[in-house]
A and B are shown apart, each in its own frame.
Chain A
Amino acid sequence: MMVLEVFLAVVVLAAAAVSLICAGFVLLAALDALVGHLSKAAVYFPNTMVVVPAHNESTVLGSTIEALVAQEYPAEALRVLVVDDASTDATAQVVGSAMSEHPGRVGLVRRHRGGEGKAAVLNAGLAKVLADDWAEAVLIIDADVIFEPQTLRRMTRHLADPQVGAVGGYVREGSRPGNSLSRFIGFEYVLAQALARRAANVLGVFACVPGGAQLHSRANLEALGGRIDDTTKAEDTVTTFLTQLGGRKVVFDAHAICWAEEPEYLEGLWKQRLRWARGNLQIVSKFRSLWFRRTTPIGRWSFGQVWFAVTLQPVLMVLNSVALTILFLVDFGLAGQMLSAFWILNALSWVVMAVFGLAVDPPTARRSWLQCLTFPGLISLALIAYTLVPGMALAVANAALGLFGAHLPASFTHWYVLFAALWTSGCMVLALAARAVDAPGGWRHWLSEALLYLGGYGPLLCAVGLAAYIDQFRGVERKWEVTVKTGRVKGGQAHGRPAGDYQPRPAIGP
């Protein structure tokens, strides 16, 4: 075998290895019950200040504040501070109304110059919070995140262990009634949070505590200099890294559930995810001296493998396509074999992730089972089916074509290999098309949804990742854009009730 062919085969296997690494990582989640942090948690109600950054959030902020003050938590140990980032809508009035309704429990800091990014807004709030010694813990959330009544105490219980610096909650997609996109996001969060963060509990090292629900001990924030790093677009990831580099633990509690409104259309999702993906590339550069060096948790080989498997996946998909296409031209037989290996390994990985995903979060599974099954895209699923059971797939295809008096040509296998080779990156082009045609309401949105199901949600995320690489290499500076929220999280209405009728005392500790 020629050197070129061996090299191309290795590229294909490397691309397949990415999905295997992700599936292997997900498998670790099952061990969370054995080695997770719940066994070290204890009932603990520290004085907690909730910092809520807000820019034009009047439609969602009222429900968010109501859900916070209604927490089943000692009322005098919980306060809410909204940091209004130069809003031009009724955000300040909404907070003012909450301040009147809950005197002494809700506060406001107004910034008159906005648009400097979330970290700058948070830092304005943290400066206020840490200026006096009341707060023993600080919860940072997004303005649209609705907490379930027991969520805060499910997070604070981990701070009973003084080694813990930060705790992440489980942010579920909460738009109701929602559409196909919100259901895809819902299932993505099962994979990225309910499973991946349980697995991170097991590994003992975290990539990111979600910016929408992160609880910090005061000691942790003070050790971080009392402020959030604002040099990247991924302030939550940097905070998570710095916490762990400072020797403090980060944990995730899958039972600490809150609900967030996610984008309803692909344009909004694209902007949000591009910001996240750009942030992750900046993290790679910012911590470049730590990767794969065992002196810190971040440098662990296992963590680096997972981080780079996810970060490099878009690039590897393109390289995979190029490698398979060249193989198709120089060695058709090997191209077919490598293609089969690629799809079989991907199918195996997907079976593991889908089964785990459906099992770990039944409510989301009931709502998003179709999006779980079609996550890779219908065309990719058809290619997988042909790879696994070619005879049956051909029979079905011929039967379908027979209805129109047609049948598959004799050269089908030849062209299948070429198509499948190109498809591993072509699926991203379909995702781009879905984004291009998407628009609120009407036939364009239906067409976009159809393209999304055909091309797949996973490839859409890969396309965003690829766009982030292109932006990063071109040095494109994008304005920090807030994701528009419209108050579609219905869970909040259930929690918009008065605080409990108990009269708690100030300090109930471990």
Chain B
Amino acid sequence: MDDQRATTSLVQPSAPERGPTPADVALVDQARQELCEDRRSEGRLWWLLGAAVAVATLVVALRYGWMW
């Protein structure tokens, strides 16, 4: 890093040894619940997209199928 002067002020305090606090537990629970919801949401997307494609294909095929 010849062309720069590092002026970072990041400090690294040593974290005290302690067990998980209620807030830690809540954060992990929240993240776990979020992961489950995101998985479910992707699943819903699959059905939504499948239905959308089916309808679009049907409409186009019925309306313009004669062109082929």
List residues of chain A with CB under 8 Å of any chain B CB.
27, 29-34, 36, 38-39, 41-43, 45, 72, 74, 76, 79, 81, 99, 103-113, 124, 127-128, 132, 134, 150, 153-154, 157, 253-255, 340, 344, 348, 351-352, 355-356, 359-360, 388, 500-506, 508
Point out the residues of chain A lying under 8 angstroms from B62, CB to CB.
none
Point out the residues of chain A lying under 8 angstroms from B19, CB to CB.
505
Least distance between A206 CB and chain B CB atoms (Å): 18
Given contacts A33-B45, A388-B67, 14 further A-B contacts (CB under 8 A): A30-B45, A74-B24, A103-B9, A107-B8, A113-B3, A132-B12, A157-B31, A254-B42, A351-B56, A352-B53, A355-B56, A359-B48, A500-B23, A502-B27
8 Å CB interface, B30-68 against A: 30-32, 34-35, 38-39, 41-43, 45-46, 48-50, 52-53, 55-56, 60, 64, 67
Q: Can you list 20 A-B contacts with CB-CB less than 8 angstroms, sorted by A residue number? A: A36-B42, A38-B38, A42-B35, A43-B31, A72-B30, A76-B13, A103-B11, A105-B10, A107-B8, A108-B9, A109-B4, A110-B4, A111-B3, A127-B1, A128-B1, A344-B67, A355-B52, A500-B27, A502-B21, A503-B24
A254 to B38: give the CA distance in the assembly, Å: 9
Least distance between B57 CB and chain A CB atoms (Å): 8
In the complex, the answer to whether B13 meets A43 with C-beta atoms within 8 Å is no
A505 and B53 contact, Cβ closer than 8 Å, known pairs A33-B43, A34-B46, A112-B5 = no
Point out the residues of chain A lying under 8 angstroms from B8, CB to CB.
81, 107-109, 128
Least distance between A110 CB and chain B CB atoms (Å): 6
In the complex, the answer to whether A104 meets B46 with C-beta atoms within 8 Å is no
Least distance between A144 CB and chain B CB atoms (Å): 22
A30 and B60 contact, Cβ closer than 8 Å, known pairs A38-B38, A43-B28, A355-B52 = no
Point out the residues of chain B lying under 8 angstroms from A27, CB to CB.
53
Chain B residue at minimum C-beta to C-beta distance from A156? B31
Least distance between A30 CB and chain B CB atoms (Å): 4
Point out the residues of chain A lying under 8 angstroms from B26, CB to CB.
502
In the complex, the answer to whether B27 meets A504 with C-beta atoms within 8 Å is yes
Point out the residues of chain B lying under 8 angstroms from A29, CB to CB.
49
A503 and B4 contact, Cβ closer than 8 Å, known pairs A41-B35, A104-B10, A359-B49 = no
- Among B5, B21, B23, B27, the most chain A Cβ lie within 10 Å of the Cβ of B27
Partner of A501, one of B12, B23, B38, B39: B23
A32 to B14: give the CA distance in the assembly, Å: 41
A138 to B32: give the CA distance in the assembly, Å: 22
Least distance between A437 CB and chain B CB atoms (Å): 36
A301 to B42: give the CA distance in the assembly, Å: 27
List residues of chain B with CB under 8 Å of any chain A CB.
1, 3-13, 15, 18-21, 23-24, 26-28, 30-32, 34-35, 38-39, 41-43, 45-46, 48-50, 52-53, 55-56, 60, 64, 67
Interface of A is mostly: mixed
Point out the residues of chain B lying under 8 angstroms from A154, CB to CB.
34, 38
- Among B4, B34, B42, the most chain A Cβ lie within 10 Å of the Cβ of B4
Point out the residues of chain B lying under 8 angstroms from A41, CB to CB.
35
In the complex, the answer to whether A107 meets B5 with C-beta atoms within 8 Å is no
Least distance between A188 CB and chain B CB atoms (Å): 19
A42 to B13: give the CA distance in the assembly, Å: 28
Point out the residues of chain A lying under 8 angstroms from B10, CB to CB.
79, 81, 104-107
In the complex, the answer to whether A508 meets B53 with C-beta atoms within 8 Å is no
Least distance between A164 CB and chain B CB atoms (Å): 15
A79 to B10: give the CA distance in the assembly, Å: 8
Partner of B7, one of A38, A108, A348, A506: A108
A504 to B21: give the CA distance in the assembly, Å: 7
In the complex, the answer to whether B6 meets A128 with C-beta atoms within 8 Å is yes
Least distance between A259 CB and chain B CB atoms (Å): 19
Least distance between A491 CB and chain B CB atoms (Å): 19
In the complex, the answer to whether A359 meets B24 with C-beta atoms within 8 Å is no
In the complex, the answer to whether A506 meets B23 with C-beta atoms within 8 Å is no
A255 to B39: give the CA distance in the assembly, Å: 10
In the complex, the answer to whether B49 meets A356 with C-beta atoms within 8 Å is yes
Chain A residue at minimum C-beta to C-beta distance from B4? A111
A43 and B32 contact, Cβ closer than 8 Å, known pairs A501-B23, A503-B24, A505-B15 = yes
A385 to B50: give the CA distance in the assembly, Å: 26
Leading 10 A-B pairs by shortest Cβ distance: A502-B23, A107-B10, A107-B8, A33-B42, A30-B49, A33-B46, A111-B4, A104-B11, A506-B15, A43-B31
In the complex, the answer to whether A76 meets B15 with C-beta atoms within 8 Å is yes
In the complex, the answer to whether B27 meets A72 with C-beta atoms within 8 Å is yes
Chain B residue at minimum C-beta to C-beta distance from A132? B12
Least distance between B67 CB and chain A CB atoms (Å): 7
Least distance between A228 CB and chain B CB atoms (Å): 15
A502 to B25: give the CA distance in the assembly, Å: 9
In the complex, the answer to whether A109 meets B7 with C-beta atoms within 8 Å is yes
In the complex, the answer to whether A30 meets B53 with C-beta atoms within 8 Å is yes
Point out the residues of chain B lying under 8 angstroms from A134, CB to CB.
12
A106 to B11: give the CA distance in the assembly, Å: 9
A144 to B42: give the CA distance in the assembly, Å: 28
Partner of B20, one of A32, A76, A104, A505: A505
Chain A residue at minimum C-beta to C-beta distance from B64? A388
Chain B residue at minimum C-beta to C-beta distance from A502? B23
